[in-house]
Each structure stands twice: as structure tokens, then as C-alpha cells.
Amino acid sequence: MIDAEHELPPTAEPPFWLRAAAALVIVVAGSRAYLNSLRLPFVYDDLHAIVENQTIRSLKDIGTVLSPPGEGVTVDGRPVLNLSFALNYAVSEFRVWSWHAANIAIHLLAGLCLFGIVRRTLSGSGIPERQRRLALPLAFAVALLWTLHPLETESVTYTVQRAESLAGLLLLATLYCSIRAGQSPVPLMWQAAAFTVCLVGMGAKEIMVAAPILVVLHDWTFQGGTLAAALKRRGWFYAGLFSTWALLGLLVVRSAGRGGTAGFGGEISSWEYLLTQFGFVLMYLKLSFWPHPLVLDYGTGISTNAVEYVPAGLAVLALAVGTIAALCRASTRWLGFLGMWFFCILAPSSSIVPVVTQTGAEHRMYLPLAAIVVLAVLAADHVWGRISARWPPHWQAIPATAALVAVAITFGILTHRRNLDYQSQQSIWRDTVQKLPLNWRGYCNLGWACKTDSQYEEALAAYDRAIQLYQNDRPAFEGRAETLMKLRRYPEAIRDLQHVVEMAPRRGVSHANLAIALTTAGESDAALAAITEASRLVPSNPYWHRRRGGLLGRLERHTEALDEFTAAIRLKPNWDEAYRDRGSCFQQLNRSVEAIADFSKAIAIAPRDAVNYLQRGIALTAAERFAESAQDCSTAIDLKPELVDAYRARAISYLNLKHFDLARADLEKMADLGAPADPALLDRLKAVSAAPNSSVNRCDP
């Protein structure tokens, strides 16, 4: 094993072609393992952080791109991550190939950085002769196994977890640049690169907090001398790296506890969260050596039983104490460095910034796994070196190479197979509940996936199971209610949504969802009461003002409805639907001039919306401007040829213009489209056709 007390000169650089060949194998093997992920759909948090993320839609407004949305989504407080998503959107919008290609490229670059770090570290002074001589193959083995390890799939295949892999790449690049600076006769360029990469990384994810610490520890461990000497030798460089914490601190404060931070008003205390992490740390270690079962979402369960967390806590504490003890001795400091690598990178998501929405997650092991792989490879090399000490060198290499190839192929196959679990929303959630049958959130998300695929009975079964496992699962009640609405089982849906309101009486969206269900069931008065409460709780929501206006209009309270539509427009000025609704309200109040003005604004905002032209055409008919009305209806028909009401409205305009053949043609077209006959309109057509000089009474469609 490594012994820092053996001071030997650095070894000569291996030939470039050999280094390039090793790097090429890592890239090709990693690409092959993840090739089947290129067409996988967005899943889970991808929908919130990517599909619904309005800030990534245009690179022209870079300020918006660097101000990602809050609300606890993955990009919150991570502008560099959001920028990477914006670049992907610019390339392929929501076509997934470029998103997955970027994730794979980031992972492969991280693997190459790890290869460079391990090779240069093992080639340095203070490393035993065997490890120095085998620096290239050992580094190759570490990087290859880490790149192919199936535990990394969540950070690569699950698109939104680019947060972990991107920050991991930038942390590795920071350390690599630092090592190069220490080995270069002109270190300034490499130091500047390390500082820049470190600063950028702070905008990717909070694990970058560990980067300056690990740079200092690496120098102390592998450059020889005391910690004080290391600080004296590169103090200004270290100060620059630590100064990047200021940016990270600002982003963390601005995100205000992204995703719900434990101990800050959440349902889980910091202490409960910490106790739960002990078990997860041991699980992460187990998955490092035996990567099964792999699970997308472990839910929000916590350890409340001392029988669970005390043994796990003692084991983790022993590892932490062992890490500190190893750091204190020069001969074992390398082992302490690996332990610090593991704990420092894992700590931000397990103690410093604990996220209660996800008490455990495999992507947190993206970089900590590197320490495990390094330790395993060095231990295997040490054992094999003793076993094969008397063998000829070429005989020593053959079994070692065969073992590496076997493990690498196994990892590659497992990674490839794990990617298949992500082929649909249903497949990943069925996999989750199969492996964790008590995971209520897994069943809730399975219900959502089945509902999205219009498999309503399967969705109900999943939601029922989620509620059975956790009776306060608000999303499951909401999802079940929406599914019941699809099945037209309105009373049951309303009952579920009323229960949601009881669980969260001060949550505006709960009242708004209830209002939608009541409206669909025809209970307008009750729906109005629900949406009124939603608007009272969140008066800045334009959608709820519009819905309240619609309900007031249905109850023929048009003056009050007018105020609600006006409020919606004030909150969302470029909303064509709100202008259209207010225009209809003006029309009900016989205020045609204002109605036409609002419909014209709606057309200006959405000139490709046929309904806007139809509504203005109807208002123009009411104002007896029949020629203009016919023109608007014709435009509506051009935009949407199947719009039956547009033919009816144009027929009325033609009747008033005494274009009887054109009116008759429109009525026939309505019949062709399957619209029921309009006896009153047909009778009027016959009457005016028989007496063409008679007047035509105006009629709104």
C-alpha cells in the first residue's frame, strides 16, 4: 500500500500514445454503457426543472437564465446548472438526445479527470515504487471502473441529476488543475484555471464546498511536509479557492432552503435527518461493492428506532474517527485523504444542506464512490502483489488484466440494464415500488404515470396503495381525485379534494383544485366559494381571478366578473384568454365597443388563435358591422376549418348582407361537420330567400 515515508523521485511520463489509448478505452467503454440512454424520456424532477422551466427557453436573456426558478426545484440556487440546460434547449429544445449526450459527455470528462488525478498522484514522490511503476494501469483501472459503475447511473441517465455530475466534473477539474500547478515550472496558469473552475462549480451544486478543502488535503498528503508548510507554500492560492465560498453562500441564502431544508419549519428535524443518514451511508457503501437494488427514489422515511440508527451511527462514527486518526500519521495519511474525500463530498447533502424531500439518494455517491474505487483497486493490487511476488512480470499482469476486464464488463452490462428501467415513467416507478414495496411516494408517482398514460384503473390502484401506506399523502389524494374526474366519478373526486383542503386549509391551490372539480360537476355556487377562498389566500394568482370571473359569468353576475377579468389582466398583461373572457363579459353587458377592443387585443397577442377572431366576429355582428364580422369569421375558418361556430356566425353575417347562397353554403358545411341542424336559422334563410327585400333580424351565434 501507499507509504508517504518512502521518498522517491517522480517516475518518467508514460508515452503519450499509451496515455491516449487508456483515455480512449475509458471513453469508448463509458459511451457504450450509456448509449441506450440517448432516447430515454424525461422523468420525475426533470418535468419541473426542465420541461416547466421557463428560464431556459432563450439564451438572449442571460440574466433570466442565471436566475433559475425557486420553489425547491433542482435548479434553484444553481445558475451554472440552469445555463447548461438552456444550452441544451437551444440545441434541441425538448428532444432528449442532446440532453443525454451532454450528461454522458460530462461523465466521461469526469472519468478522464479522475484518470489524470490518480495517475499524477501515484507518479509523485512519497509513493512506493510498485505503485509509481504501475501508476498508469492503476489509474486506468480506477477511472474505468468508476465510469462504468452502475451506482453512477442516477447521476448520468436521470437528466436533472446533471447537478451532481456537473459539480463532480468541476470539482475533479479543480483538483487536477491544482496538481498540475504543483508540478509545473510556471504554475500561475494552472492556478488561475483551478480558481476559475472552482468558482464556476459553486454555481452547479453545493458539494463544491469541499473543493478547496480537498485541494489543501491533497497537497498535504501527497506533496510531503507539514500542513503549515503547505499553507505557507501556496497560501495565496488556497485563499483564492476558499474565497469562492462567498458565491456559494450567496446562492444558498438566495435559494432559501432549496427543496425544504430540515430544521427550518419542515416536518423533519435536523436531528432526525442526521440519524437517518447513518443508515444511508452504510447502504451507499454496500451499493459501492454490490450495486443492487438500485432505486430512483427512497422517499422521505426517517429512522426513529434506536435499533436502526445506533449500530449504523456507531459504524459511521468509527469510520469518521478512523479517517481523522489516519490523517494524523504520515504513513496512513493517504487513507485519511480518501476518507475525507468520502465524507467531505457527502456531507453537504447529508448534514450541511439536508433536503427533507429526499432523505437518501444514490446520486449523492457520484464523487464519494471514487474514494471507494481507489481504495478497492489499491487493496486488490496490494494483495495480488503479495500473491504473485515470485511470478514473472508478464504472468502477474495477465490475471490482473483479466479480472479488471471481467469486472468492467459486468459493470457495463449492469449499467446498460439499469438504463432500461428509465425507458418510461411507468417502468421506473414500477421498478421503484417493486424494490421498495412500502415506498408510498413511489406508488403516488406510479399513479401519476398511469394516469398520464390514460390507464385510470391502474392509477387508482396505485393511488389507493399510496394512501394506505401514508394517509397524509396529499399528492396521492389530488392525483386520485384527478383520476376520478377522468372517470366522471365526481362525488368521489370532490370528497378527496375536500379532504385535501382539510389537510392544507391555507394552501390556495387546494381550494382551486376543488373549485375545478365542483365546476365540472355543475356545482357553480360551491365552486365560486372555493375559488374565492383560493384568490383570498393568493391574490396575486391571475389564473384564479380568471376562473372566478368565469364562474361569476356563469351565474350571470357579469359586473363582478368584469372586475375579476380586469384583475387577471393586471397581473398578466399579455394574456389573450383573459382579454377574450373580458370581451365576452362586455358583450353580455351590451358594451360592444369595449368587447371589440378586448377581442382586438387578444388577436394582437395571439394572432393564430381562431377563437379570438370568432369572438370579435360575433361582437361585430352585435354592432351590425356585418362585413367585418364575415371577414373575421373567414379568418377563423382559415385557421381552424373544423370550427363549427365560425360557419354559423358567418352565415348570420351573410344573411344580413343578403348573400343567401353563401349563407346556405355555410349551413351545409356545418351539417357536413356533424353539427346539429339549426331550425330557426334555416327558417330565416328560407324566409329572406323568398322575400329578399325584407330585413333580417340580427342574431348572435
Q: What's the pLDDT tens digit per position in 481-510?
A: 999 999 999 999 999 999 999 999 999 999
**Domain annotation covers residue 550:** no
Q: What pLDDT does residue 5 have?
A: 44
* pLDDT tens digits for range 455-484: 999 999 999 999 999 999 999 999 999 999
DSSP-derived secondary structure letter, 332: G
**Domain annotation covers residue 280:** yes
CATH number at residue 666: 1.25.40.10
* pLDDT tens digits for range 353-365: 556 678 899 999 9
Assign 369 a pLDDT band (cuts: 50, 70, 90).
very high
Distance of CA 361 to the CA centre of its chain: 14
**Domain annotation covers residue 494:** no
Assign 268 a pLDDT band (cuts: 50, 70, 90).
confident
**C-beta separation of 469 from 443 below 8 A:** yes
Assign 351 a pLDDT band (cuts: 50, 70, 90).
low
Domain's final residue, options 418, 433, 450: 418
Which one-letter amino acid corresponds to residue 401?
Answer: T
Assign 265 a pLDDT band (cuts: 50, 70, 90).
very low
Domain's final residue, options 383, 418, 453: 418
Q: What is the mean pLDDT of residues 303-308?
A: 85
**Domain annotation covers residue 597:** no
**C-beta separation of 321 from 313 below 8 A:** no
Q: Is the pLDDT of residue 262 over 80?
A: no
* pLDDT tens digits for range 617-630: 999 999 999 999 99
Range of lowest pLDDT (125-134, 153-162, 311-320, 556-565): 125-134
What b/e sequence results for 352-381 when a residue is b if at least 16 CB atoms lie within 10 Å of its CB, and e otherwise? ebbbbbbbbbbbbbbbbbbbbbbbbbbebb
Domain that holds residue 251: 16-418
Assign 699 a pLDDT band (cuts: 50, 70, 90).
very low
**C-beta separation of 493 from 482 below 8 A:** yes
- Residues 449 and 235: their CA atoms lie apart, in Å, by 54
**Domain annotation covers residue 466:** no
Query: Which grid coordinates belong to 44?
Result: 420525475
Domain's final residue, options 418, 439, 467: 418
With helix as H, strand as E and coil as C, how does 108-122 read? Answer: HHHHHHHHHHHHHHH
**Domain annotation covers residue 58:** yes
Q: Residues of the chain with pLDDT > 70: what percent?
A: 93
Mean of per-residue pLDDT scores for the chain:
93
CA angle at 159 for the pair 302 and 21, rounded to the nearest 5°: 115
Q: Is the pLDDT of residue 449 over 60?
A: yes
Q: What pLDDT does residue 391 have?
A: 86
Listed in sequence order, the residues at least 6 apart from 173 whose beta carbon sits closer than 8 Å to its beta carbon are 113, 197, 201
- Residues 425 and 391: their CA atoms lie apart, in Å, by 53
Tally the domains of the chain. Answer: 2
Q: Is the pLDDT of residue 257 over 80?
A: no
Q: Is the pLDDT of residue 263 over 50?
A: no
Query: Which grid coordinates belong to 656?
Result: 344580413
**Domain annotation covers residue 529:** no
Q: What is the mean pLDDT of residues 240-251?
A: 97
**Domain annotation covers residue 653:** yes
**C-beta separation of 127 from 96 below 8 A:** no
CB atoms closer than 10 angstroms to residue 671: 13
* pLDDT tens digits for range 13-42: 889 999 999 999 999 999 999 999 999 999
Please report how the helices 393-420 and 16-34 are oriented relative to each other, as an axis angle in degrees rounded to 10. 30
